[in-house]
Amino acid sequence: VYIRSTDVNRTLVSAYSNLAGMYPVGVPGVDYPGDYDKWPSKWTPIPVHTIPEDMDHIGNIFAPCPRADELDEFIRNSSEFKQYDIEYKEFFALISQKTGKRFTFDNIHELHDTQYIESIYNLTQPEWMTPDVVSTIRNLSRASNEFVYGISKPYVPEMIKLRGGSMLKALVDKMNYKIACNQPENDNSHHCKWIQ
């Protein structure tokens, strides 16, 4: 099995944890070196591959990309994007005052993420965090994400490709590689052994 993770502690630990659950029993000398007799019982170490976060265009959709930066600036300068900061100016001022952090349409997702996680764990919410406020934060976060991915107005198909195309291409490439390696003429190819 080949495992790829982003180069972030949280995702690396998630990858290792998932693998420990999926592959709990290993064979010494086959699944891990046989001369190490002190591996934890019922655990098979499996490597998790990664590349630096700023070079990872598959796992990090915000990896440096000059064209994505140009399109992002175009989107942020659009009247549709700017309208949210104008229309919700008082709302952003309220939540900024209540939280002690300046919130705008650009970073509202941070407050949404925090509030959502706190609600999942039944943590007490401040009294100003009414159902209407929660709904507004959620809707603004969703709208902001649509701009980030180019699926709002202005609709920017190129941004969709830049944000998701690398991951989609990686998945399709692996599928095609698996298909090619299952052809009889590639049975003994050393490039195909791991994927067979």
Residues 93-113: tens digit of each pLDDT: 999 999 999 999 999 999 999
Q: How far apart are CA 140 and CA 142, in angstroms?
A: 5
Of 44-48, 62-66, 87-91, 102-106, give the lowest mean pLDDT range: 44-48
Q: Answer for the pair 93, 100: CB distance below 8 angstroms, yes or no.
A: no
Q: Which band of pLDDT confidence, cut at 50, 70 and 90, is reported for residue 13? A: very high
The answer, yes or no, to whether residue 114 has pLDDT greater than 90, is yes
Of 38-42, 77-81, 96-100, 177-181, give the lowest mean pLDDT range: 38-42
